Amino acid sequence: MKFFIDTADVAEIRSLIDTGFVDGVTTNPTLIARSGRGMVETIAEICGLVEGPVSAEVTASDLEGMLAEGRFLAKIATNVTIKVPLTPDGLKACRVLTQEGHKVNVTLCFSPAQALLAAKAGATFISPFVGRLDDVGESGMTLIDEIIQIYDHYPHLNTEVLVASVRNPLHVVEAALAGADVVTLPPSVVRQLYNHPLTDKGIALFTADWAKTGQSIL
């Protein structure tokens, strides 16, 4: 399963690249706004740091506006993936942009039916939002299971399932168990993946026992 980092904070991305876990990056207008920087300069810098796909989202809501913005964003770098919303015009834009050779990430997916439409429109990635579904009392991971099951029935559908709105390490594990292609994680969740109290306890024990020997490896 590929790990994308869900942030527009260039410093955070730099700090995580050395882990070898960064396969791509996802951004959205909210993340760009939080960065306090311009979209074009931010996306360009991220694309220069990361070899994999970098999602840059359109802000227009109409077909012509999405197409114009998507084509503009695609010119920033060769690894830009155009992100469009799962609306009728968004799916039309997805089809056109895909036919033009661009990678497209269809975002804000909340149902299997929506995911099927996105795949039929030629989406490179579908982004189901598991955390937001959990917030309203639905099961986000059930949605992931259903999308993967549907896609598996139709091998000609090449859309990758990109699990978004991830809130905790359990979401990551459940996405991997379900067979999701990609999970996009806030930097804070990436760092949580390392943590387990028994690991910390074991290190403390080994360190204390080694100190008692008075030895040094070097």
- Indicate which residues carry an active-site annotation: 83
The residues that bridge with 104 in the sheet, in sequence order, are 82
- Confirm if 177 and 142 have CB atoms less than 8 A apart: no
Cβ-based neighbour number of residue 1 at 10 Å: 15
Question: Phi-psi bin for 105: left (phi > 0), alpha (psi -120 to 50), beta?
Answer: beta
Q: Which residues pair with 25 in a beta bridge?
A: 5, 54
Distance CA 63, CA 90 (A): 7
Count other Cβ atoms within 10 Å, centred on residue 22: 21
74 HSE (CA, 13 A, CB side): 19
Asked whether the beta carbons of 123 and 104 are under 8 A apart, the reply is yes
The type of residue at 145 is: D
Q: HSE-up of 123 (CA within 13 Å, CB side)?
A: 29
Q: At 65, list the tokens.
A: 């506006």
CB atoms within 10 A of CB 120: 14
